[in-house]
Structure 1
Amino acid sequence: MSTDGPRRERAPRRRSRRFAGALLAVIGGLAVLAGGGAAVSLTQGPRVTSVEVDPDAAVEASGTRLVLTADQALSEIDPGQVTVSPETPFTIDAVGRMVGVRFTVPLDDATDYTVTIDDAESVGGGPAATLEASFTTPAAEIFLLQRNPDGDDTVFRSGLSGDEAVPVYSAPAIDDFRVSGEHLVVSVRKGDASALYVADLDGSDAREMTLPGEGTVTGLQVSTRGELVGYTYTDLALSETEGRASVLFTADLRDPEADPQPLLVGDEQPSIASWRFVPDASALLFVDFAGDLIVYDPAAAEPAPTALGTAFAIDAVSRGTYTAFVERLDAAGGVQLDLTTGEETPLVAPDEDLGQLGRVLPVPGGGTLRQYVRFGGDQLPEAQGAAYVDDEGAVTPLFEATGSDGLLQTCVSPSGRYAATLVAPDLRTNPYDSESLQPLPGELRTHIVEIATGEEVSVLSGFGISWCDVGPWDGAMG
């Protein structure tokens, strides 16, 4: 009788016992590792596993978020536990393992930022830990228009120094341009009328936009909410009884072939003297030809104009606060107006005499930029200037144009770090460009100044820096 059978039966049993033993050893090892990992978490507290932020968007607009993710669910985070360096206003939201920090103003360019969360704790208990995330914003980038009497006009894209400027759009007669978050929109002259083009930010994929008819476009502006463009339009065929004069139209930059939409107040298309998009809203603020100041939201369930008194110019609308800075005949230097309540408050007075105060711009983070004219002993103007006035009235001089130089426009960078002043040197020998629908002196210089120090950063040839909401024809500040 053979004995091979029983031996073959015992071998599989031994292999099964060895496999079971190995499996138990692996499970035991995993348990030890898991226990060790839990022990590490309990002794070290929460740790950062990932950070999401868009530094490019952060320098261009408010509302950018940094999202920090921890390795475990966190207990409630109080805003007092969070700091941002350099100091920047922010709000927070937190759920589970994620903490979102929303920057309520655009950030400074070329700056190292650090977000710190102190005493962060796990919902499961254990020691507190400090969570930290750092990032660097890119150098500032601007767009600028240079007109050329001997060739094509060109919109350039460059850094603040102007070095390595890149042409992005050229045409024989560029009248004006604006830059949104996604698009470049350019108004050009065609004969006696305007044409409007929209392109990508690098100038590619340029497409002509539909206009209301054959006429001229002025007051070009853009809104990042919905990628809208707005302008006032006037028919070439205009008489006392026919045609449209300075009627406000808006259009979608993403649909250039669509018909632009007129501003309708009731059944009327009012003629507009000055206007602005209200940031972060669908409303429009405008002054009509009668001098009435009106805020109007065409997207409201029941659109109705709200009268806010009279004005002759709108200087700016502050982002995030719904505060407008307007000029009234009875208020030298302008007033600030809460668009939600209609409440009017005077501006902080400068703690030194600047001269005759003019237009005003809000500076993100606090304070305002004031334009002024200083008169000499003979009561003739001797200088035009711009100065920063903080919330306490302290003055930082930024720029003065003297002699025959003319200060045409002043604008503020998105973060409030810089001011740009547009100057026409020696107006006596600097003739206007008569070929343009909106003429300007032939030689123009843009001076960029750091607001905190008053130091000049650079001087660039051209106008219409992309920080401006409007062109230099819309008053002296934009």
Structure 2
Amino acid sequence: MSTDDERPEVPAVPRTRAEMRAAREAAEREAATAEVRAAPAAPELVQPAAAEASAPEPVPPAAAEVPDTAPPITKPAFVPAPAPAPKAPRNRRFLLALGAVLGILVLVGAGLGAVSLTQGPRITEVQVDPAEAIETSGSRVILTANQSLAAIDESQVTVEPSAPFTLDAAGRGIGIRFTVPLDDDTKYTVSVADAVGAGGGPSATLTTSFTTPASNIFLLRRDVDKKDTIFRTDLTGESAVPVFAAGKINDFRATSSQLVVSVEEDEGSKLIVMRRDGTDQRELELPGEGYVGAIQVSDRGGLVGYSYSDKELSDTEGRASVLVTQSLTGDDDPVITEVGGEEANIFVWQFVPDSAAVLFIDFDGALSLVDRSSDAGVQSLGLATTIQGVSRGTYTAIVERLDGTVVELDLTDGSEQPLAASDPDYGTATTITPFPGGTLRHVVARSESGIPSGQAIVKVNDKGAATPLVEVGPTDSILQACASPSGQYAAVVIAPDLADNPYDQMLLPLPENMETHLVDLRSGDELVALTGFDASWCQTAPQF
């Protein structure tokens, strides 16, 4: 006998047969799904529970009036097992890593862009050749910024220690050109203040530094018993190295990369070009068989010039003291200087520093200028007796006119002004050698009878203040004084004990014993005295 607990639960709300069937089917589906989840295997047929099949369904009173035309569902329900979850793609990790890297790059780029916008321009590259800077005028420091810049004015640029310069700036580049050579063994700092990007934004100071190397100097040592030798040394004289030797070396000159040597032989002169270490020697073609003297070089123009005379020379035949120029490469023929369509006999001449121009005086006393880099022809500059020197970076020559006055001649426009006397005034100078910042003047003291009683090299700065550098007594003689390219040092050639110091028998005869004294022009202190002469700092050879 059943109890109340065993009776089927009577719904609180009467349901129709259709509702009851829908509820039963939902219960069957839920039970089937639970079994499949508990034991996932092949799909199985789920039969209705026996109790539910035999139990009479309660029929509400209203249902009796409505005939049930839908028979009970006895068809089993098929419930498939759930499909397995799809596996993640094999390259998911790669995609995630790639996305992370790209994200980092975006962040870095954005950060750099923000830094650029907040910090202003920066230097990305610096170009400079410190070794060339102490040898020649016109060396450059080129700064490259990370962005195009607004216009830069010279007032924004400073160089420490001070050095004259010109400015050429465009786009991202700033070029500072030094108009004179720089000091050796010196740290230079170049700054550009208030640099602003072309598109605006904050300003910045662009700064770079470089250190120039210590100087070397070349000297010629003649030996009447052995070979003459050109050697290179530092300014202490403790590291002398021979670079070229020959039986008779008449003269030589040096560029920033080459040596040009005049060798004297029985059949005439030879002109040999080589590297500064003496290697890669090659002979230049001369206008003929003859003799070469007064050689000079134009580093900027890549030229060598010299005075040439034929070996076979008479009153009616042959060339005497003609001025010849040609390329240091030897790729062209020698060019003889002409005035008025005729070869000119030259008394004295000099290259204009930092150019391919030649300043010369012919045997008639005419002072002329000709530029080998153009076809402008010969420019007449009046009459003169000698050329003392030409200043680096200024195109100003110091010449002596026929009336004995010494003038500073501007070679660009022909204007001139008298050379100011020194303070104190040491009298008339026999030679005047310009250097950046002043001149070196060779003066001779004489007794009342006119006999030399002493000689001196006096440094005179641009304001006229004079300071004696080297002094000798009446037994010695000063043959030459010249300055280093920047005007930092001086080389003074002295022939000691001249009465017992015989001249050699060379084409350029000079005393056999000569000394070169190196002096610091800033302090006036002597650095060292070296055996030899014809210092490579000098533009011309010493005169006897």
Note whether the superposition's TM-score is higher than 0.5: yes
1:50-449 aligned within 5 A: 50-191=125-266, 193-255=268-330, 258-303=332-377, 305-332=378-405, 334-364=406-436, 366-434=437-505, 436-449=506-519
Deviation at 1:18, TM superposition (A): 7.0
Deviation at 1:278, TM superposition (A): 2.2
Task: Give the AA of the match of 1:77.
Answer: I
Task: Give the AA of the match of 2:356.
Answer: S
Cα contact 1:355–1:375 (8 A) shared by 2? no
Residues 298 and 54 of structure 1, relative CA distance in 2, 3 Å threshold: closer
Task: Give the AA of the match of 1:462.
Answer: G
Secondary structure of the 1:290 match is coil
Q: Residues 380-435 of structure 1: CA distance to partner in whole angstroms, max 9, x if unpaired?
A: 3212211111222111211112121011111111001111111100110000112x
Deviation at 1:6, TM superposition (A): 6.9
CA distance in 2, matches of 1:244, 1:37: 71
Q: Residues 71-101 of structure 1: CA distance to partner in whole angstroms, max 9, x if unpaired?
A: 3333322221211100111122223332221
Deviation at 1:195, TM superposition (A): 1.6
Task: Give the AA of the match of 1:397.
Answer: P
Structure exhibiting the larger radius of gyration computed from Cα positions: 2
Structure 1 residues without counterparts, runs of 5 or longer: none
Deviation at 1:464, TM superposition (A): 0.6
Deviation at 1:163, TM superposition (A): 1.2
Q: Residues 44-68 of structure 1: CA distance to partner in whole angstroms, max 9, x if unpaired?
A: 3333332221000000011111112
CA distance in 2, matches of 1:347, 1:450: 25
Deviation at 1:138, TM superposition (A): 0.4
Cα contact 1:356–1:374 (8 A) shared by 2? no
Secondary structure of the 1:170 match is strand
Residues 34 and 4 of structure 1, relative CA distance in 2, 3 Å threshold: farther
Query: In the comparison of the two structures, how many residue pairs are matched?
Result: 467
Residues 15 and 306 of structure 1, relative CA distance in 2, 3 Å threshold: same
Deviation at 1:21, TM superposition (A): 6.0
Structure 2 residues without counterparts, runs of 5 or longer: 1-41, 44-79
Secondary structure of the 2:315 match is coil
The structure whose RCO (Cα within 8 Å, separation 6+) is larger is 1
In structure 1, the residue matched to 2:57 is: none
Residues 241 and 4 of structure 1, relative CA distance in 2, 3 Å threshold: farther
In structure 1, the residue matched to 2:37 is: none
Deviation at 1:231, TM superposition (A): 0.8
Residues 25 and 6 of structure 1, relative CA distance in 2, 3 Å threshold: farther
Cα contact 2:301–2:354 (8 A) shared by 1? no
Deviation at 1:17, TM superposition (A): 7.3
Task: Give the AA of the match of 1:401.
Answer: V
CA distance in 1, matches of 2:205, 2:376: 50
Residues 206 and 298 of structure 1, relative CA distance in 2, 3 Å threshold: closer
Cα contact 1:217–1:232 (8 A) shared by 2? yes
Q: Residues 9-59 of structure 1: CA distance to partner in whole angstroms, max 9, x if unpaired?
A: x336x6677776665554443333222222222333333332221000000
CA distance in 2, matches of 1:264, 1:51: 45
Task: Give the AA of the match of 1:446.
Answer: T
Residues 105 and 297 of structure 1, relative CA distance in 2, 3 Å threshold: closer
Cα contact 2:305–2:325 (8 A) shared by 1? yes
CA distance in 1, matches of 2:256, 2:82: 82
Task: Give the AA of the match of 1:375.
Answer: R
Cα contact 1:327–1:359 (8 A) shared by 2? no
Q: Residues 182-221 of structure 1: CA distance to partner in whole angstroms, max 9, x if unpaired?
A: 3211111111621211111111121222222221111111
Deviation at 1:246, TM superposition (A): 0.3
Task: Give the AA of the match of 2:112.
Answer: G
Deviation at 1:112, TM superposition (A): 0.8
Q: CA RMSD in A?
A: 2.4
Deviates more, 1:42-51 or 1:195-204: 42-51
CA distance in 2, matches of 1:62, 1:297: 18
Cα contact 1:223–1:279 (8 A) shared by 2? yes
CA distance in 1, matches of 2:392, 2:410: 12
Residues 27 and 225 of structure 1, relative CA distance in 2, 3 Å threshold: closer
In structure 1, the residue matched to 2:533 is: 463
Task: Give the AA of the match of 1:202.
Answer: D
Cα contact 1:144–1:157 (8 A) shared by 2? yes
Q: Residues 438-466 of structure 1: CA distance to partner in whole angstroms, max 9, x if unpaired?
A: 11000000111111222111111101100
Secondary structure of the 2:338 match is coil
Deviates more, 1:247-256 or 1:413-422: 247-256
Task: Give the AA of the match of 2:438.
Answer: G
Cα contact 2:387–2:398 (8 A) shared by 1? yes
CA distance in 1, matches of 2:318, 2:254: 30
Deviation at 1:471, TM superposition (A): 0.6
CA distance in 2, matches of 1:290, 1:244: 16
Deviation at 1:127, TM superposition (A): 3.0
